[in-house]
Amino acid sequence: MNEGYIAILNEISSKSPTPGGGTVAALCLAHAYSLTSMVANLTKGREKWASGQKISNQILSNHDSNIDGALELAKNDSNSFDKLMEAYRLPKNSEDEINTRKDAITNATLRATNVPFETAEKSLGLLEIIPELLVVCNQNAITDAAGAAELCYASIRLAILNVEINISGLIETDKNHYSLGTDIIIKSADQIISNVRDIMDGKLE
């Protein structure tokens, strides 16, 4: 591991509230993308795993953009929380200042809710393809594919915690939108990870 990686871990463990859980959720997603691509690379071009070529090529063709997107979400999550804290620190000495502060808090809260929600959506998108990959990939790497699924699931759960802590500050319409969305994501993720675990139980017996 290089110094840059250690520096990120040190930032997370510092007294600063950012980077926090939402950023870590996005970093979990980045690691899941990387593990999935490793499995695809170990499958690609192998005649023994001919049935895994299509999905492996699909995964690898999107690798760079997926990693970039996950890292952007990690950065945006920290930035959105910082902006929310800035909004709460705005002056409130007059009616105009109070209204300006209120609008800033509302907008910043919406942003701080949307970023982890997007992380959860992206994590679910990756999780959805892993059961297929497990069946057709290089079977020497199935634990890595299953590990990627577990990282996706962790990313979803962690990201949604960050959504849930923010939605109380949203207007009713937005609150309902995110509540319904998170319920759908969690239900889908629970079903898929259960399927992945069943597949792995069968393969490891």
Give the pLDDT confidence of 16-60 residue by residue, as tens digits. 888 899 999 999 999 999 999 999 999 999 999 999 999 999 999
Nearest-angstrom CA–CA distance, 76 and 43:
33
**Predicted pLDDT at 108:** 95
Which amino acid would we find at residue 167? I
92-109 pLDDT, tens per residue? Answer: 999 999 999 999 999 999
Nearest-angstrom CA–CA distance, 39 and 134:
9
Name residues whose C-beta falls within 8 Å of residue 112's C-beta, 6 or more positions apart in sequence. 22, 77, 80, 81, 83, 84, 162, 166
Nearest-angstrom CA–CA distance, 108 and 12:
22
Name residues whose C-beta falls within 8 Å of residue 6's C-beta, 6 or more positions apart in sequence. none
Which amino acid would we find at residue 12? I
Nearest-angstrom CA–CA distance, 117 and 178:
8
- Three-class DSSP category at 1: coil
Q: pLDDT band at 1, cuts 50/70/90? A: low
**Predicted pLDDT at 135:** 93
Closest CA to 127 of 145, 103, 114: 145
Q: Which tokens hold the place of 45?
A: 């071009």
Q: How far is CA 127 from CA 111, 124, 166, 181, in A?
A: 24, 5, 25, 16
Name residues whose C-beta falls within 8 Å of residue 145's C-beta, 6 or more positions apart in sequence. 35, 36, 39, 130, 133, 134, 137
Strand (E) or helix (H) holding 36: helix 21-43
pLDDT of residue 121 exceeding 70, the answer is yes
Phi, psi of 91 (to 5 degrees): -65, 155
Q: Indicate the pTM of the whole model.
A: 0.94
